[in-house]
Amino acid sequence: MPEGRIVKAISGFYYVRTPKADIQCRARGVFKKRKWSPLVGDLVTFEETENGEGWVTDIHPRKTELIRPPIANVEQAVVVGSLRQPELSFDLLDRFLVHAEREGLEILICLSKVDLVDDPKKLIDRVRGIYDPAGYPILTTSVEKDTGIDELKKELSGKLSVFAGQSGVGKSSLLNSILPSLGLETGEVSRKLGRGRHTTRQIELLDLPGSGQVADTPGFSQLSFTGMEETELSACFPEIALRAPRCKFRSCLHKNEPSCAVLEACDKGEIDKGRHQRYLQFLEEINDNRRY
């Protein structure tokens, strides 16, 4: 039977892309009985019907799976943070990074709207100082000035990527710059609230020139740490995970334990103290979730 990848899902229909065409399919009832739904990004086997449509009969094993947005087999997360409108939120940035790390995705930090800052170097250097110890590549972009767009295209090439970031940071604008024919709707940032409105309402995989795909999604809405154990969190901070084996205690949570290699690295400036503080904040949230 033919195979393909689900590139869009709307109202119970799954659009499966094959080398020849996109086939509109429904899912067999057996998936509902198993409480297992096909996701955009899934590689599937399907059975064609006489009217040119089809039925999804099998879902191939997934490499990765995100819950919100619900999408499978993503390889890379492009975590977008704007330098202005809205102001860069390190708390939100780290939440996105933790969820991407937990899923084992490659990560690229994309700083957008660099044209809105009079002297962006100081702010960009600050971001690099925080995230260079974690090993995250950082790319600066401006849609208005066409800055960093070619570099972004290279980073997306050959991979299935998803954009993550709060509303208004310019995810749809970046996608429009990469694929001008899209004409995706973009939203202005509310001056009063300092955040944008959602402009993407469904998940769709978009083919990139040459190779690779990028997912246009409504955004990551699962930013809490429900279901995560406190011992899992440090693995989602690469600079902490690197030093944790050198701590005196194997169960060290890097809070105030003696001979903690992570705390020592913070004191030496090898780990940004603000980022470690957010790690402790997330740790508290995980503990709070366990109490209720």
Is 165 annotated in some ligand binding site?
A: yes
Is 169 annotated in some ligand binding site?
A: yes
Is 37 annotated in some ligand binding site?
A: no
Is 161 annotated in some ligand binding site?
A: no
Beta strands in the chain (DSSP E): 3-10, 13-17, 22-27, 43-48, 54-59, 65-66, 71-72, 76-82, 106-112, 138-140, 160-164, 204-207, 213-216
Is 166 annotated in some ligand binding site?
A: yes
Determine the Cα–Cα distance for residues 244 and 238; give it in Å rounded to an integer: 10
Is 276 annotated in some ligand binding site?
A: no
Is 167 annotated in some ligand binding site?
A: yes
With 0-12 CB in 10 A as exposed, 13-18 as middle and 19+ as buried, what is 190?
middle
Is 114 annotated in some ligand binding site?
A: yes
Is 252 annotated in some ligand binding site?
A: yes
Percent helix / strand / coil, the chain, rounded to 5: 30, 25, 45
Is 54 annotated in some ligand binding site?
A: no
Is 135 annotated in some ligand binding site?
A: no
262's tokens: 């992570």
Phi, psi of 8 (to 5 degrees): -160, 145
Is 35 annotated in some ligand binding site?
A: no
Is 198 annotated in some ligand binding site?
A: no
Q: Write the CA distances from 34 to 5, 65, 240, 265, integer angstroms.
A: 21, 17, 39, 48
Annotation: binding site: 112-115, 165-173, 247, 252, 254, 260
Binding residues for Zn(2+): 247, 252, 254, 260
Residue ranges at the known binding site for GTP: 112-115, 165-173
